[in-house]
């Protein structure tokens, strides 16, 4: 008989206008890896935030090691051996990696912080995670993937009995995920209980023992993973049959719309050449920190670059700011939704309308009806789960927030879309819808560059794939000849891909 | 029985002791006369606020107003409003602009320009005593730039000093504050090798300056001629101790109680004052005539 | 803040409208309570004359607070408003009295100068990448000095009859400054809620980086907001100069605190991105009403300060409490 | 701010150390330039006596600015510091002169009261969920009134010889306030850089939510920071009262601006999370030096204001420029 470590009994959480959790009851065994899955907005993050004391439950009970608990703050949870990696980053940008990892439980010697020990321990943890990050660099200078790794290290640093991971792999590429899984297995061996939330179902099958499915805040089922087929799991999550996971339609590539020649930003990008055509989806693959994000930002005029030329429809352009890029018909979907993609305080509608307001205004006055109509269309098309168009985006679930970021640019017609990890945190069902929207954009004549760390997505959706390594284009692969090994090989370059040229 | 009266008293700021004396004198007088409620409101040295206060007094329906204007001109609209509401007003200390088209029952006050002149004359005399002729370096600590009394006192002071080309005047503002007086004086001590006299446009500033002089180790307080303004008890104390040489007394208590009597008399007995303007001569208080000061330490 | 009132476009009953307003303008409840209290303590408080009186008193700070709402919504701040009041006031007085200017010049030039100073504040802080606190601290000092310099250290008085209308005139029973104040509140509310400009102010204040990546020309909007504030400060300078019939040198000293307080009490977040100008209206009125009520009651000066401070804290606490009860 | 100086722990040459410092304290360059300018214009400026003079003048604002650094690092603000200076000053003077208190009481009680007011500010703003701007605006008014009330409108003067040591004493050639000021800078620097408390201040200011989720008891640290600030404001009140030999009613009026300016000019971000107390030291010195230099030069008051404002803006601009050059 397995020992129950965490038990939920009719757990209910209500937010104004939303029942996030509706009498959810299930339990978690000591030492298992327990997957928690469900559509965006199903209530997964809410559930774990109740466990760690971020939210207070509305009713029901949570038992931990047999005792009813009701933590008032994450501090209490950590004291009791429950640590979590939250869906959104919780790092202090201006502080160093080492400090962030041990935030909340600094090493001290006497009254003073023991920097040396802290750096050492941080280095050990990062070595354990097989990443090469300078523990003295500031978190704000790191890319999303590295931040995610820091979050993992941070959670590990607590030596918790229960470790909760809310989409820890959303920003990670193959290699890091492998390491993470190795660590999860190791922790499991040493008796740690892990709650694992992910939209990548392959991972659930690879690493988890049992899976609990939530739908619309209600408990659906808990099953051992082995006894459950993927199709069945998806049906339990979505409540219906999802067709093809990657619905690709072929389209005839048109003329060149964007050409990048010799783009260089010392230390980050080196001699990048790209040619993008109408009705084409160009995938960009690469390892963490290979410079993909930097490339998109350079084209969009966010970051300055030193050498090279950019041509739009054959004409050379100098783009120095996003507004200029937009006036040339370029749109960027940034990789960090919370800090770069959304105005959290504003409503869903206002966020969706942001790029299009000038187009639907008369003499500066917004056409509210038109805006509302566009908003409704987007919510419908993207299946954004929100109580109303006027809900602040800060109250949406992570995946639904991501959909708003996407919807923002789908609402505005552009010629060239730069998508940086577009489907990060989005559930299986909704992904399909997003791919379909991308197909529609392309068929209407747009061109897309899609940066993604999810290889299946890149492989299935791209017409052509560029692979980046250390700021350079390591190779180009045609759709027909592309496969996982080939791309990984190019991305890794046969040597330690983390080694950065100083 | 006497008619119960409510009298409004509006003055610039209670953070300066001079006005605190004035307020106190009014209240004393009120208890002495009896049957009078005094509503005293300060305006935090803000002209717009003073106007608001008078408007509020009108709404509340006071019988008369005793007004210490923050500024000679800016308060005119408020007096206009008082006239319109038929509420008699007596101005104290500072006079509103003379040709303003408003009715003021009476003005009781001292003349800041004259006070400045007297301070200057005192310093000149002392310099002559010291050097045999009017020469030397004099520091003038002026009040808050733009404030009425600061302008007037400095004007009177410089009017006299301009007549003596051998006297060098170095002026700097210390905002009527003691801490600024000290700070500015410290800097003067650094920059000016020889300082013969210091005039502070109020006692607070000169008291601060004296602290600076005493701490400097370079100048001797007894050597430097120091003159303040307002005759605060502390200043009088220092005159007694011969640290401070003189201060200008404008008799806030006498001004206030005179004005108050006139107002009450008018309200109760409909007696108009004989003179529309009663000026109380400012006096230079030195160790010799300390007893003349209102708050003198008996 | 999203505006359920306008955007929903469904028919809402008057009662509902009131509750929506109530919710949006958090401090309203506290304001009403304070008013009722004063009304009980001193009946003259609710005299229509007194009500107009208060609004007129408030209008000088209020007009600036309307502009400050824009700047704070952007996450900025402006300390120079008081100096702008004094400087533009002196310029207006100068044109009226000394430089033989027409009514037109003595109104238009100060407004242009005010807008210009605002522009300068915005320009230096955005293009120089400096926090507006520092920049406006600098211009606050600079234009206070400039005021004294232009006026040669003396107030300038004696305005023309027509100029005096701005601050002292009446349209029917309503003082003209009240019309200017309420007018600017309404115009600002419309701008903030219905125009692209307004929406972008909220967006920039909410998340500047995201706004930039969405293609909003952040710098331009920031500079515009400061310019509006400078312009409205100059308007306030005109009202004050006209009311006082004198260009005062110490005019506007310390206004920045009252102005910012009005905005923040009114519920606009110092972090930017949240709030609105109706809140500012209530915030400014609350400050005005407290001081008016205490004056009417004849509360002694020392106690006034203590009571005023306490009411302000209690009022905003009450607002918070109310919200807590609602969501509970 | 992470401290490369400490953390690297490798041997660094003196020159390197200087450059690291330079980089950390951005405004240093501007400060040096201003000093050299004044030194050229008026040789007495570099007189050691004058240098001590400036630091002593600065210490009154400076001690508060050290505390304000904590609060601003947290993303907070405190407007009540000036009133705390006045209130604690009057209490100290009261114990010295009127209530026959000992030297001990007239030092300890004001410090406790100062800390208490700080605690109150922190407590109300964190537990009530109010922005500290509003809370401290309230307490600023409350304690200004309380000062006047306690003192009955009159300054209280005539301190004992021993009490006067705090503000006017010397240890060797060094004025005692200078020791208090520089001492508090060093202690604060150590706290901020080496203790858990200090690190949590940065963490909370950098990202409050993240700090909370990392298990940091945010409220506790916030309240502590305000308490420290209140305590240091009281210390400043003691220094001022002792130096002036008088508890002043207008003491500390307007200090909040100078104090915040020192912190912000010193490079601490108004958004919180970045900066440090050495920057504050330079910021406070810069403000003090400008006013001292202009006084030494005998610049007229009007022009002083204009020049002071311009130098402040130029100095921070210069700091920005330097950074730009370096990263280019
Ligand atoms: N603070 C909040 N206020 C109001 N509603 C909230 C809040 N937090 C979450 N919700 C709502 O609760 C529901 C559940 O959200 P939750 O974040 O738990 O979803 P999730 O399962 O984690 O989804 P995702 O896969 O997108 O992360 C959603 O409808 C969301 O909009
Ligand atoms: N502001 C910065 N300062 C210094 N280094 C930076 C900065 N931004 C990014 N880098 C570094 O540049 C490299 C490229 O980062 P980028 O984010 O573009 O990578 P990526 O390929 O998009 O990978 P991912 O987003 O998955 O991390 C990384 O090593 C990153 O640490
Ligand atoms: Mg989630
Ligand atoms: Mg990336």
Candidates D236, C179, C274; CA nearest to A347 is C274
What is the C-alpha to C-alpha distance for residues A73 and D216, in angstroms, rounded to an integer? 9
Q: For residue D199, how far is its CA from the centre of ligand 2 (angstroms)?
A: 26
Judged by CB atoms closer than 8 Å, whether chains meet at A79 and D6 is answered as no
Q: What is the pLDDT of residues A162-210, one digit of tens each?
A: 999 999 988 787 788 888 899 899 989 989 999 999 998 889 999 999 9
More confident residue, D135 or B49: D135
pLDDT at position D102:
85
Which subunits sit against A, judged by 3+ Cβ pairs under 8 A? C, D
Q: Give residue B65's pLDDT.
A: 93
Other Cβ atoms less than 10 A from the Cβ of D53: the count is: 23
Q: Which mutation among A13, A24, A35, A45 tests ligand 1's pocket best, with the greatest number of atoms within 8 A of CB? A: A45
Cα(C62)–Cα(C284) distance, rounded to whole angstroms?
Answer: 6
> For testing the chain C interface, which of A322, A369, A392, A401 should be mutated: the one with the most C CBs within 10 Å?
A322
Best residue for ligand 2 mutational test, from A131, A263, A289 (most atoms within 8 Å of Cβ): A289
pLDDT at A494: 54
pLDDT averaged over chain B?
88
pLDDT band at D108 (very low <50, low <70, confident <90, very high): very high
Mean of pLDDT values over A411-423: 89
Indicate whether D301 pLDDT > 90.
Answer: no
Sort strands A112-113 and A108-109 into parallel, antiparallel or unpaired. Answer: antiparallel
Nearest residue CA, atom 8 of ligand 2?
A141
pLDDT at site D2: 36
Q: Measured between CB atoms, which of C79, C128, C302 is closest to D148? A: C302
Work out the pLDDT band at D322, boundaries 50, 70, 90: low
The pLDDT of residue D234 is above 70: yes
A469 strand-pairing partners: A472
Q: How far is B173 from chain D (nearest CA, A)?
A: 6
- Kindly tell me if the per-residue pLDDT of D323 is higher than 80: no
Which position has the higher pLDDT, C2 or A118? A118
Q: Do B147 and C250 touch (CB under 8 A)?
A: yes
B17 CA to chain D: closest CA distance, Å?
A: 5
Q: Do C206 and A347 touch (CB under 8 A)?
A: no
Here the contacts of B28-33 (C-beta below 8 Å, separation 24 or greater) are B28/B257, B29/B256, B29/B257, B29/B260, B29/B261, B30/B260, B33/B260, B33/B261, B33/B264
Binding site membership of A84 for ligand 2 (Cβ less than 6 Å): no
> What's the complex ipTM?
0.89
How distant is the Cα of C235 from the closest Cα of chain B, in angstroms?
Answer: 15
Q: Determine the distance in angstroms separating the CA of C91 from the nearest CA of chain B, rounded to an integer.
A: 15
pLDDT at B199: 96
Residue A320 has pLDDT above 50, yes or no: yes
Given a cut of 60, is residue D10 above it in pLDDT?
no
Predicted confidence at residue A498, as pLDDT, reads: 38
The ligand 1 atom nearest the CA atom of A199: 25
Read off the pLDDT of residues A287-312 as tens digits, 9 standing for 90 and up: 877 889 999 999 999 988 888 999 99
More confident call, C328 vs A373 = A373
Average pLDDT over residues A409-413: 84
C224-273 confidence digits (pLDDT tens): 999 999 999 999 999 999 988 888 888 888 899 999 999 999 989 888 89
Decide if pLDDT at B22 tops 90: no
Is the C-beta atom of A11 inside 6 A of ligand 2?
no
**Whole-angstrom distance, CA of residue A262 vs CA of residue C152:** 63
What pLDDT, on a 0 to 100 scale, did the predictor assign at position C22?
Answer: 64
Mean pLDDT value of segment A433-445: 88
The protein residue whose alpha carbon is closest to atom 24 in ligand 1 is A40
Distances (CA, A) of B88 to A252, B84, B265, B268: 93, 10, 11, 12
Which pLDDT score is estimated for A289? 79
pLDDT for the residue C141: 94
Q: Would the pLDDT of A16 be above 90?
A: no
Q: Please tell me which of A226-240, A309-323, D55-69 the model is most confident about, judged by mean pLDDT.
A: D55-69
Q: Whose CA is nearest to atom 1 of ligand 1?
A: A395
User: Is C49 in CB contact (< 8 Å) with chain B?
Assistant: yes
CA C55/CA D68 separation, integer angstroms:
36
Testing ligand 1's pocket by substitution, the residue of A396, A403, A423, A428 carrying the most ligand atoms inside 8 A of its CB is: A396
Report the distance separating Cα D7 and Cα A136, nearest Å. 8
Using CB atoms and an 8 Å cut-off, which of residues 102-141 of chain A contact chain D? 103-106, 108, 111-113, 115-116, 119, 136, 138
- Ranges of beta strands (E only) in C142-274 are 156-157, 170-171, 174-175, 246-247
**If you average pLDDT over every residue of chain A, what do you get?**
88
* D8/A103 Cβ within 8 A: no
Q: Do chains A and B touch (3 or more CB pairs under 8 A)?
A: no
Q: pLDDT (tens digit, 9 = 90+) per residue, B24-46?
A: 889 888 998 888 999 888 888 88
Average pLDDT of the segment spanning D212-238: 95
Are C309 and D260 an interchain contact pair (Cβ–Cβ within 8 Å)? no
CB contact under 8 A, D8 and A79: no
Tell me the pLDDT tens digit for each residue of C192-227. 999 999 999 999 999 999 999 998 999 999 999 999
Confidence grade of residue A146 (pLDDT, cut at 50, 70, 90):
confident
* Distance of residue B297 Cα from the nearest chain C Cα, in angstroms: 27
Minimum-distance ligand 1 atom for the alpha carbon of A55? 1
Q: Is C217 on the interface with A (CB under 8 A)?
A: yes
The enclosing H or E element of B162 equals none
Average pLDDT score over chain D:
88
**pLDDT at residue B166 above 60?**
yes
Predicted confidence band of residue A501 (pLDDT cuts 50, 70, 90): very low
Q: How far apart are CA D133 and CA A32, in angstroms?
A: 49
Query: Hey, of D7, D9, D74, which one would you mutate to test binding to chain A, going by the most A CBs within 10 A of its CB?
Result: D7
Q: Is A72 on the interface with D (CB under 8 A)?
A: no
Which tokens go with D67? Answer: 């505390």
pLDDT at C13 exceeding the cut of 80: no
**B268 vs chain D: nearest CA distance in angstroms?**
31
- Residue D209 tokens read as 């939510």
Distance CA(C74)–CA(C85), nearest Å, equals 22
The nearest alpha carbon in chain D to A100 belongs to: D203
D125 Cβ partners below 8 Å, 6+ apart?
D76, D131, D132, D135, D136, D222, D226
Taking contacts as CB-CB distances below 8 angstroms, the residues of chain D near C279 are none
Calculate how far, in angstroms, residue A451's C-alpha sits from the geometric centre of ligand 4: 8
Q: Is A364 on the interface with C (CB under 8 A)?
A: yes
What is the distance, to the nearest Å, from the Cα of residue B164 to the centroid of all Cα atoms in its chain?
26
For residue C157, count CB atoms less than 10 angstroms from its CB and return exposed for 0-12, middle for 13-18, buried for 19 or more.
buried
pLDDT number for residue C17: 64
DSSP state of A87: S
A339 CA to middle of ligand 3, Å? 17
Identify the structural domains of chain C with CATH numbers, from first to last: 26-327 (1.10.3470)
Ligand nearest to the CA of A392: 1
Size of interface C-D (CB pairs under 8 A): 128
What gap in Å lies between CA C239 and CA C61, rounded to an integer?
10
- Predicted pLDDT at D78: 95
Size of the B and D interface in Cβ pairs below 8 Å: 81
Cβ <8 Å between C296 and B61: no
B170 vs D contacts (CB less than 8 Å): 298
Q: Are the beta carbons of A366 and C194 closer than 8 angstroms? A: yes
What are φ and ψ of residue A464, in 5° steps?
-145, 150
Other Cβ atoms closer than 10 A to B272: 12
Judge: C2–A334 Cβ closer than 8 Å, yes or no: no
CB contact under 8 A, D211 and A54: no
Write out the two tokens for A481: 């000849």
Q: What is the CA radius of gyration of chain C?
A: 20
Mean pLDDT of B254-263: 90
Which residue did the predictor score with more confidence, D301 or B97? D301
3-state SS of A435-457 is HHHHHHHHHCCCEEEEECCCHHH
Per-residue pLDDT, D147:
92
Contact B14/D at CB under 8 A: yes
* B61 at interface of C, judged by CB pairs closer than 8 A: yes
Summarised one tens digit per residue, pLDDT across range A245-264 is 788 777 888 899 999 999 99
User: Residue B226 and residue C60: Cα distance in Å, rounded?
Assistant: 42
């Amino acid at each position: 008989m397995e020992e129950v470590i965490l038990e939920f009994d009719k757990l209910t959480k209500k937010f104004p206008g939303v029942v996030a959790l509706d009498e959810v009851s299930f339990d978690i065994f000591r030492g298992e890896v327990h997957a928690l899955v469900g559509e965006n907005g199903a209530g997964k993050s809410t559930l774990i935030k109740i466990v760690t004391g971020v939210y207070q439950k509305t009713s029901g009970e949570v038992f931990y090691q047999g005792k009813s608990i009701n933590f008032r703050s994450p501090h209490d949870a950590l004291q009791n051996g429950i640590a979590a990696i939250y869906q959104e980053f919780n790092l202090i940008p201006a502080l160093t990696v080492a400090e962030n990892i041990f935030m909340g439980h600094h090493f001290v010697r006497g009254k003073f912080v023991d920097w040396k020990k802290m750096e050492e321990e941080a280095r050990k943890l990062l070595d354990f995670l097989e990443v090469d990050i300078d523990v003295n660099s500031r978190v704000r200078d790191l890319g999303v993937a590295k931040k995610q790794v820091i979050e993992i290290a941070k959670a590990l640093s607590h030596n918790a009995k229960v470790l909760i991971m809310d989409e820890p792999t959303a920003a990670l590429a193959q290699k890091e995920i492998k390491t993470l899984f190795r660590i999860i297995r190791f922790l499991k061996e040493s008796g740690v209980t892990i709650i694992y939330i992910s939209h990548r179902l392959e991972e659930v099958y690879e690493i988890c023992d049992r899976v609990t499915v939530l739908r619309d805040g209600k408990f659906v089922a808990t099953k051992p993973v082995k006894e459950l087929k993927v199709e069945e799991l998806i049906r339990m999550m979505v409540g219906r049959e999802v067709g093809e996971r990657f619905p690709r339609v072929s389209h005839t590539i048109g003329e060149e719309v964007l050409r990048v020649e010799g783009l260089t930003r010392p230390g980050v990008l080196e001699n990048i050449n790209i040619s993008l055509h109408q009705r084409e989806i160009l995938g960009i693959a690469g390892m963490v920190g290979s410079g993909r994000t930097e490339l998109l930002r350079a084209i969009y005029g966010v970051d300055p670059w030193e050498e090279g030329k950019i041509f739009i429809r054959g004409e050379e352009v100098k783009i120095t700011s996003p507004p200029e890029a937009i006036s040339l018909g370029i749109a960027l979907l940034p990789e960090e939704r919370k800090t770069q993609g959304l105005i959290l305080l504003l409503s869903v509608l206002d966020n969706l309308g942001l790029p299009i307001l000038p187009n639907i205004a008369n003499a500066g006055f917004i056409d509210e009806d038109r805006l509302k109509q566009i908003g409704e269309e987007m919510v419908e098309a993207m299946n954004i789960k929100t109580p109303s168009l006027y809900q602040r985006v800060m109250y949406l679930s992570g995946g639904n927030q991501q959909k708003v970021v996407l919807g923002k640019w789908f609402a505005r017609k552009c010629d060239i879309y730069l998508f940086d990890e577009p489907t990060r945190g989005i559930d299986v069902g909704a992904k399909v819808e997003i791919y379909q929207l991308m197909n529609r954009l392309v068929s209407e004549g747009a061109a897309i560059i899609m940066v993604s760390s999810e290889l299946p997505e890149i492989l299935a959706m791209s017409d052509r794939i560029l692979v980046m390594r250390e700021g350079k284009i390591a190779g180009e692969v045609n759709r027909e000849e592309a496969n996982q090994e080939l791309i990984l090989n190019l991305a890794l370059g046969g040597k330690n891909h983390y080694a950065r040229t100083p | 029985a006497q008619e119960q009266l409510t009298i409004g008293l509006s003055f610039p700021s209670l953070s300066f002791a001079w006005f605190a004396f004035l307020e106190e004198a009014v209240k004393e007088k009120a208890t002495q006369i009896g049957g009078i409620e005094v509503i005293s409101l300060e305006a935090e040295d803000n002209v717009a606020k003073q106007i608001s206060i008078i408007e509020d007094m009108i709404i509340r329906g006071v019988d008369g107003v005793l007004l210490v204007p923050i500024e000679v001109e800016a308060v005119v609209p408020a007096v206009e409003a008082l006239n319109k509401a038929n509420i008699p007003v007596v101005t104290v200390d500072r006079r509103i602009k003379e040709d303003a088209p408003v009715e003021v029952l009476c003005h009781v006050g001292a003349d800041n320009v004259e006070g400045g002149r007297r301070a200057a004359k005192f310093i000149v005399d002392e310099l002559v005593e010291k050097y045999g002729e009017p020469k030397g370096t004099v520091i003038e600590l002026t009040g808050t730039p733009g404030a009425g009394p600061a302008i007037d006192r400095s004007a009177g002071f410089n009017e006299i000093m301009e007549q003596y080309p051998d006297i060098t005047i170095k002026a700097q503002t210390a905002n009527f504050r003691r801490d600024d007086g000290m700070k500015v004086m410290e800097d003067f001590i650094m920059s000016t090798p020889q300082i013969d006299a210091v005039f502070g446009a109020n006692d607070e500033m000169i008291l601060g300056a004296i602290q600076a002089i005493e701490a400097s180790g370079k100048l001797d307080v007894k050597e430097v001629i120091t003159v303040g303004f307002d005759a605060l008890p502390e200043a009088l104390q220092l005159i007694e101790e011969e640290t401070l040489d003189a201060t200008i007394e404008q008799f806030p208590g006498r001004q206030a109680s005179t004005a108050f009597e006139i107002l009450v008399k008018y309200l109760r007995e409909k007696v108009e004052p004989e003179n529309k303007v009663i000026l109380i001569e400012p006096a230079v208080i030195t160790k010799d005539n300390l007893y003349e000061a209102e708050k003198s330490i008996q | 803040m999203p505006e359920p009132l306008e955007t929903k476009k469904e028919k809402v009953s008057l009662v509902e409208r009131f509750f929506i307003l109530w919710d949006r303008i958090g401090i309203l409840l506290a304001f009403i309570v304070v008013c009722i209290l004063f009304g009980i303590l001193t009946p003259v408080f609710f005299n229509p004359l007194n009500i107009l009186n208060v609004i007129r008193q408030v209008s000088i700070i209020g007009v600036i607070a309307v502009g400050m709402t824009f700047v704070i919504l952007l996450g900025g701040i402006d300390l120079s408003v008081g100096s702008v009041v004094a400087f533009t006031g002196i310029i207006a007085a100068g044109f009226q009295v000394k430089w033989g200017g027409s009514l037109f010049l003595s109104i238009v030039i100060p407004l242009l100068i005010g807008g210009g100073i605002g522009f300068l504040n915005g320009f230096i802080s955005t293009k120089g990448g400096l926090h507006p606190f520092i920049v406006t601290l600098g211009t606050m000092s600079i234009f206070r000095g400039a005021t004294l310099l232009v006026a040669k250290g003396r107030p300038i008085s004696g305005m023309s009859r027509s100029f005096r209308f701005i601050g002292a005139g009446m349209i029917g029973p309503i003082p003209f400054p009240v019309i200017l104040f309420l007018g600017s509140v309404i115009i600002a509310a419309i701008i903030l809620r219905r125009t692209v400009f307004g929406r972008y102010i909220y967006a920039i204040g909410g998340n500047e980086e995201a706004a930039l990546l969405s293609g909003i020309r952040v710098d331009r909007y920031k500079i515009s907001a400061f310019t509006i504030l400078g312009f409205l400060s100059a308007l306030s300078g005109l009202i004050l100069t006209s009311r006082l019939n004198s260009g005062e040198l110490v005019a506007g000293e310390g206004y920045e605190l009252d102005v910012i307080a009005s905005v923040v009490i009114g519920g606009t977040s110092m972090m930017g991105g949240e709030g609105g100008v109706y809140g500012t209206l209530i915030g400014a009125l609350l400050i005005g009403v407290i001081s008016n009520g205490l004056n009417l009651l004849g509360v002694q000066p020392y106690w006034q300060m203590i009571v005023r401070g306490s009411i302000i804290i209690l009022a905003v606490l009450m607002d918070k409490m109310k919200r807590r009860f609602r969501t509970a």
